[in-house]
Amino acid sequence: CQTQIHPLDCQMAQPVALRIASSDFNLSCSKQTDSTAPILQLEVSDDQLRTISAQGDTARFLFYMTTKGISLTTFESAKYPGWFISTSLEQRQPVAMCGAVCSFSLQR
């Protein structure tokens, strides 16, 4: 577990790489040269994911999965701590990276 995650969370965080089923596409998190926020993208990974290091070039494919309670699972970027995979409240919207302070509303 990397040092940026709170020690209590380290016990629950599981490092994962996320692949689209029956394909060579993996989710990755990286920054464009002119952007401050990381983006989520699909990359063909071939065999480069046999060994993933949180400090190496393949860290962009690594996420820390944490489950809280029975219905909240988060995926935090290993390369960019504090950035999480986020879904939209609206249907048919793409997933994206969201900073630790995300705004959302709950509807009944």
Does 72 fall in a domain?
Answer: yes
Does 108 fall in a domain?
Answer: no
Residue 11 has what pLDDT?
58
Helix, strand or coil, per DSSP, at residue 85: strand
pLDDT of 7 strictly over 50:
no
Locate the DSSP E strands across 31-102. Answer: 39-44, 62-68, 72-77, 83-86, 96-99
Rounded Cα–Cα distance for residues 72 and 65 (Å):
10
Residue 6 has what pLDDT?
45
Does 106 fall in a domain?
Answer: no
The pTM of the full predicted model, rounded to 2 decimals, is: 0.77
Residue 32: alpha-carbon gap to chain centroid: 16
Expressed as residue numbers, the domain containing 89 is 7-95
Candidates 80, 4, 102, 2; CA nearest to 36 is 80
